[in-house]
Amino acid sequence: MKLGDRHVHSRFSCDCRTPERDVLDAAVKKGLKEICITDHCDIDMGPDWYLPVEEYVTSWEKLKKEYEDRIDVHIGVEMGLNPEYNDKIDEYLASYPFEVVIGSVHTMQGDDLYFRKHYDYDDREYYRIYFETVLERLKNSKGFTVFGHMDYVVRYGYEKGASYEPELYAEHIDEILKEIISRDIALELNTGGLRKGVDFVHPHAYIMGRYKELGGKYLSTGSDAHFADHVGAGLGEAAKLMRSFGFDAGSVKPL
């Protein structure tokens, strides 16, 4: 099963320094036929995380045409979901017809999950509050086509996967999955955790099983690459996960 990489970052994300051409050259070298650039726009994380749409789109549209004989390049965005900023998010998404909009939750309680030490909880409580936050934000956000790295929080647990038992959050997980299924939002298989000390593709196999049982149909796949070497990384593992639950390449939501 040959999958495209629909979650890739470049220098336009404030946590990435990779030039655009390096991203595309790496993708071509690895034999990818499709890539979607999804740089960060997390309005709730301050001005450094605001994606300058005009400069971003101008650069990528030029390269999309230049590389069209080598790879299909799509222009998307990874939007941080936070209903407090819905008006600004709506305005931003109306500024360009992004082909993929990944809705992600990178913050809770006013802080970036990356700064684990700022949260005075053990891992189980940390994960529980995250799933509660995700559910609240999903129910009150719109405009996105893919829900990104559902159990992203595990990357920043003190014990990462060793302290993660998704069954403990079954009620919230089921409600999250029902919400995205009812809105035909694709569930992302994100391989970035494999490079962050997490021993599974996001989301955990338990969540994939519930997604299938609840009638989930649409998937998206992405490496979450911030370096050229990581473009396309782990997509083989994502394909294995898909097959293990009876999904095939046709389950990837069309652009």
**What are the structural domains of the chain?**
5-246 (3.20.20.140)
Distance from C-alpha of 98 to C-alpha of 108, rounded to nearest angstrom: 26
Q: Cα dihedral sign for 59, 221, 251, 168?
A: negative
Query: Which residues, 6 or more positions from 5, have their beta carbon under 8 angstroms from its beta carbon?
Result: 27, 32, 34, 35, 36, 221, 222, 223, 225, 231, 232, 235
The tokens for 95 are 């500024």
Distance from C-alpha of 252 to C-alpha of 105, rounded to nearest angstrom: 22
Q: What is the pTM of this model?
A: 0.96
More confident residue, 255 or 191: 191
Query: Which residues, 6 or more positions from 225, have their beta carbon under 8 angstroms from its beta carbon?
Result: 5, 7, 8, 9, 18, 23, 192, 231, 232, 233
Q: What is the mean pLDDT of residues 72-86?
A: 97
pLDDT for 6 beyond 90: yes
pLDDT computed for residue 230 by the predictor:
98
Instruction: Tell me the average pLDDT of the chain.
Output: 96
pLDDT computed for residue 8 by the predictor:
98
Q: What is the pLDDT of residues 118-174, one digit of tens each?
A: 999 999 999 999 999 999 999 999 999 999 999 999 999 999 999 999 999 999 999
Q: What is the pLDDT of residues 188-209, one digit of tens each?
A: 999 999 999 999 999 999 999 9
Q: How confident is the model at residue 1 (pLDDT cuts 50, 70, 90)?
A: confident
pLDDT computed for residue 116 by the predictor:
85
